[in-house]
């Protein structure tokens, strides 16, 4: 018979929690419309409603890059721990 790979439940680590927060934060910020549905304060003549959303484009980019880098580090760590195990 063929050997089936051992299936392990997902592990919740602090890095994975931070990754989840980085990816969820932009959604929460944009779905909470009441927090930015106003015209003031204006920035260089642009109403708050618009510049707040455009600022979140930049913030979301930074958070996504951070989440990706944390994920890559987590995967490398898992691979090194897996390779270090002896059977």
Give Cα separations from 41 to 45, 60, 61 (angstroms).
9, 22, 24
- Segment 39-66 shows an average pLDDT of 92
6-52 residue pLDDT tens: 777 777 888 899 999 999 999 999 999 888 888 889 888 989 899 99
Q: Which two tokens stand for residue 34?
A: 């009441």
């Amino acid at each position: 018979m063929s050997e089936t790979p051992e299936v392990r439940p997902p592990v919740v680590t602090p890095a994975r929690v931070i990754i989840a927060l980085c990816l969820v934060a932009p959604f929460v910020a944009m779905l909470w419309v009441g927090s930015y549905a106003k015209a003031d304060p204006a920035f260089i003549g642009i109403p708050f409603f618009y510049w707040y959303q455009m600022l979140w484009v930049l913030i979301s980019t930074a958070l996504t890059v951070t989440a990706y880098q944390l994920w890559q580090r987590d995967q490398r760590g898992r691979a090194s721990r897996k390779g270090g195990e002896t059977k």
